[in-house]
Amino acid sequence: MIQVAVMGYGTVGSGVVEVIEKNKAEINKKSGEDINIKYILDLRDFPSDPYADKVVHDVEQILSDPEVKIICETMGGIKPAYDFTKRALLAGKSVCTSNKELVAAHGPELIQIAHEHKCNYLFEASVGGGIPIIRPLNYSLTAEKIDAITGILNGTTNYILTKMEREGADFASVLKEAQDKGYAERNPEADVEGYDACRKIAILSSLMCGKNVKYQDIYTEGITKITEADFVYAKAMGKTIKLLAQSKEVDGNMYAMVAPFMISYDHPLSMVNDVFNAVCVHGNMLGDSMYYGRGAGKLPTASAVVSDVVDCARHIGKVIMCFWDNEDVELTGIEKASRRFFVRVPEQKEKEALHIFESASVIEADVPGEFAFVTDRMTEKEFNEKAEQVGIISRIRIEE
Ligand code: HSE
């Protein structure tokens, strides 16, 4: 029997307990040994919970128990999760986590400590919730040189953009409705400003290149400036708007960014709606592959944590390879990246805009008082210089 502890009995932690209980037979069979939850760490008591007798308040009880071989860290945040995780790994206990903040901030250090102590730090649930994406990158696509990853990695913003598109609604009212229904957090900043997607693409980019992509270095723009009018134009262009997180290696330069993009309806990510997430991975031999599913939610996320528990149970005392070195990657600034841009200007600036942008495809849509167009391909730097000269209303990048 393998003894497991769950640290953090919130949404994901209670989901982990539920998954282990409900799928006991499958999980035990696939682990090769029975998995038993010995402790649940939380500050609170849960007197009416069926697992009330397993709840402890002192992490020392878990860390000092040699029987505990695997810990599920479902606390979230850096403190005290970082300290607890580090101590668990130093004690040779494997840790499985859904904590993207911690993985993005300290992933390579924690992986190294784990490996030095013949245990594992696994984080399948940290990106894309229940979608298997870390394991494919680590184990399946090992014959590939992966040169691009593009994903919809945040369910809240995808839900908001989908609603705005379908209902012609504005950002603020859709956000409020999402909060009232419990889909969006009361403090939605991490989601709507793109910070959550930024942590997740930092993790995927690091696995893509085997070195450390710092989330602080990734250009990040959220969806708060997207309006109903943008969707009117997008529709006229046969496109939709999605918050994309992407990283690409072009001619030895590594780019990573999070921003809203206009994408055509024939792009596979245009079909990813509501709270769903998807990740497109491009390998130099395989070409494109796509991973799609529930990127958030109690049971999908818990299922991914438990899949890591099974992996750890199969590898007690052994290291599961993960190539993510401590060496920081120098990202190339996005001002060098080149693309087309959708631009809105006040109607009186039509001539000036056409003169400054030289060549542009005009977009006809029912938005009074404005002139809109798509630029030729140009670098972000060139675009910013021209946009400043014209004085634009807004712009959205176009993903080809
Ligand atoms: N807030 C996140 C989202 C939860 O909306 O996708 C999953 O990481």
State yes or no: pLDDT of 375 exceeds 90.
Answer: yes
Ligand 1 interacting residues, C-beta cut-off 6 A: 129, 154-156, 191, 196, 295-296
pLDDT band at residue 367 using 50, 70 and 90 as cut-offs: very high
The number of the ligand 1 atom at minimal distance from the alpha carbon of 159 is 5
Give the rounded percent of residues in the chain with a pLDDT score beyond 70: 100
User: What is the overall mean pLDDT for the chain?
Assistant: 97
Q: Which of 196, 203, 242, 243 most suits a substitution to test ligand 1, by most atoms within 8 Å of the C-beta? A: 196
Is residue 12 within 8 A of residue 302, CB to CB? The reply is yes
Is residue 86 within 8 A of residue 113, CB to CB? The reply is: yes
Write the CB contacts of 214 (distance below 8 Å, at least 6 apart in sequence). 202, 328, 329
pLDDT value at residue 385: 98
* Ligand 1 center–CA 234 separation, angstroms: 25
**Nearest residue by C-alpha to atom 7 in ligand 1:** 296
Q: What is the DSSP string of 116-144?
A: HTT--EE-GGGSSTTS--HHIIIIISTT-
pLDDT at 182: 78
Residue closest by Cα to atom 4 of ligand 1? 296
Please say whether the dihedral angle defined by the alpha carbons of residues 210, 212, 217 and 223, taken in this order, is positive or negative. Answer: positive
CA of 383 to the centre of ligand 1 (A): 32
Mean pLDDT of 6-35: 98
CB 394 within 8 A of CB 342: no
Distance CA 377, CA 400 (A): 11
Measured distance CA(7)–CA(305) in Å, rounded: 12
In this predicted model, what pLDDT tens digit does every residue of 78-99 receive, in sequence order? 999 999 999 999 999 999 999 9
Q: Which atom of ligand 1 is nearest to the CA of 183?
A: 5
Pocket test for ligand 1, best of 191, 192, 243, 277 (most atoms within 8 A of CB): 191
Instruction: Report how far ligand 1's centroid is from the alpha carbon of 144 (Å).
Output: 29
Which of 91, 141, 97, 96 shows the shortest CA–CA distance to 113? 91
Whether 183 shows a pLDDT value over 80: the answer reads: no
The confidence band for 359, taking pLDDT boundaries of 50, 70 and 90, is confident
In three-state form (DSSP H/G/I as H, E/B as E, the rest C), the secondary structure along 203-269 is: HHHHHHHCCECCHHHCEECCCCCCCHHHHHHHHHCCEEEEEEEEEEEECCEEEEEEEEEEEECCCHH
Q: Out of 98, 153, 156, give the residue to mutate to test ligand 1, the one with the largest number of ligand atoms within 8 Å of its CB.
A: 156
Indicate the Cα dihedral angle 255, 286, 272, 157, nearest 10°: -20
Q: What pLDDT does residue 292 have?
A: 98
- Per-residue pLDDT at 74 exceeds 80: yes
Catalytic one of 54, 200, 242, 349: 200
Q: What is the pLDDT of residue 356?
A: 97
Q: Which atom of ligand 1 is nearest to the CA of 98?
A: 8
Ligand 1 centroid vs 290 CA: distance in angstroms? 19
Closest ligand 1 atom to residue 197 Cα is 6
Helix (H, G, I), strand (E, B) or coil at 69: strand
Q: DSSP secondary-structure letter at 179?
A: H
Residue 301 alpha carbon to ligand 1 centre in Å: 10
Run of H or E including 382: helix 380-390
Percent of the chain residues past pLDDT 90, beyond the cut: 96
| DSSP 8-state symbol, 44 | S
Ligand 1 atom nearest to CA at 191: 1
Catalytic-residue membership of 336: no
**Dihedral sign, CA of 80, 137, 278, 255?**
positive
The arithmetic mean of pLDDT across residues 32-54, rounded, is: 97
Q: Are 343 and 395 in contact (CB under 8 A)?
A: yes
Residue 340 C-alpha to ligand 1 middle, in angstroms? 29
The model's pTM is: 0.97
Distance CA 40, CA 218 (A): 36
Closest CA to 106 of 124, 123, 119: 123
Q: Give the pLDDT confidence of 240-261 residue by residue, as tens digits.
A: 999 999 999 998 899 999 999 9
Tell me what pLDDT residue 11 has: 94
